[in-house]
Structure formats: C-alpha cells, structure tokens
Amino acid sequence: MNADHADGSSDDLILEYQLDAPPEKVWRAISVPGLREVWLPGTTLVDPEPTILSPGEAIRYRMREDEPPFRESAVTFRIAGEAGGTCLRIIHEIAVGRRRIEPANSNAPPMLRAA
C-alpha cells in the first residue's frame, strides 16, 4: 500500500493497493451494490448510485459522515490490470462541496472606547 498527497489537493488521501485478483473481480467488488455493501455500507453514501462511472476503469461515490457536522466527501476507485493481478487506487477527496460557514455576528473582538 502506498499513501501520498502529491496528486492534486493536499487534502486528498490517495491509497494504492496491489491485489492478487483479476481486474474483472475487483471491478465487481466495487461496482455491484450487493458486493459493495459488504465493505462499504450504503448508509455512508449520499446516494448509492455512482456519480462517475467508467466501466472497468473508475467509479466514484459521494459519502457523508454519520455524525455532525455531516461533512461530505467523494471517493474514487480506479483499477488497472497488472501482471498477475490488479492495481487499485483509491482517491478520497475530503473537500468536496466544502462551504465556509459564516458567523451570525461579525465575530470580531469587541472594541472598547475610552470616555
């Protein structure tokens, strides 16, 4: 497994795994809902349908935390066949749809005036 932040945003988490399974089997595990539920429960997904789908190559799901503040993210799974197995690259984009929450007040320190 490799983990790095060199690809894209520094907030992205990128993991790479070398698997001893053929690409077709790995693709089924990440794209067929019944098989995906075993390791990625639908309750963590915003929508069980993928937002990006390139059959046999890449699939992306939107995820949401189950506790406040319920931040959203996206996880992309990319597969590539290699001699004797499959390379699975997982890119978890933390900053998807990040909104800055503005305070109701100016949130500035109070300014006192001398009389």
What parts of the chain have a pLDDT lower than 50? Answer: 1-8, 96
pTM exceeds 0.85: no
Joined tokens for residue 72: 């959203």
Question: 54-84 burial, b for 16+ CB within 10 Å, e for fewer?
Answer: eeeebbbbbbeeeeeeeebbbbbbbbeeeee
Provide CATH code, domain 2-93.
3.30.530.20
**74-84 pLDDT, tens per residue?**
999 999 998 88
**38-57 pLDDT, tens per residue?**
988 878 888 888 998 999 99
Domain boundaries, the chain: 2-93
